Structure 1
């Protein structure tokens, strides 16, 4: 291993912004994004899972997902969507989700 190796970038330590962070919620921190592993008060550190993991997350209803569909985070509704306009790239659908499903599975992929 390289002498200057620090750690895997699959999880990074970030500082909670206004309102803090809630475990299991998707957050955008600068050019990074991912799922909070723990809850933290504003100004406290928490771990952000940024890539490779699969999570169940709220999805925009009226959208069917096929496996591998690109997904974006809609911070207005706190859901994943196939709509890229004004939303943050989050990953891909890990498995299909029916049009009327409220929850879908997302595999996080690096957004930066």
Structure 2
């Protein structure tokens, strides 16, 4: 197949702001987790778009496995609150209230 570009597990997209390795970002309508530290606008930033990752979350929420998880771009945390946020995947483990992080299976789709 001559038109194949890449598998898409990771993609190269400019960083929308400065990020450290493991931090999430919404790049247009695609969510990814930074593979390294990148400066704002870095055109060579690489992002994990699928798989299970641990992300910072809204502490005062309890999550259950399979629950939809959204990205709060203002606070740069994962959340179970849909309103005003972007769907990024689903919880893969219980996350207590309170807790700082939660495990999320990334959708890998543009929304």
Shorter chain as normaliser: what TM range? 0.7 to 0.9
What residue in structure 2 maps to residue 96 of structure 1? Answer: 94
Give TM-score scaled by structure 2 length.
Answer: 0.87
Which blocks of at least 5 consecutive residues in structure 2 are unaligned?
none
SS of corresponding position for 1:15: coil
Distance 1:98 1:32, change over 3 A: same
| Residue aligning to 2:81 | 83
Return 5+ residue gaps in structure 1 as ranges.
none
C-alpha distance in structure 2 between counterparts of 1:43 and 1:100, whole Å: 34
Counterpart secondary structure, 2:97: coil
Structural RMSD (CA): 1.5
Secondary structure of 1:91's counterpart equals strand
Instruction: Say if 2:52 is the partner of 1:46.
Output: no
Hey, which bits of structure 1, 4+ residues long, moved more than 4 A?
none
TM-score, normalised by the number of residues in structure 1 = 0.87
Q: CA deviation at 1:42?
A: 2.7
Q: Is the 8 A contact 2:69 2:87 kept in 1?
A: yes
Across the two proteins, how many residue pairs are aligned to each other?
Answer: 109
What does 1:17-56 correspond to in 2, within 5 Å? Answer: 17=16, 19-44=17-42, 45-51=44-50, 53-56=51-54
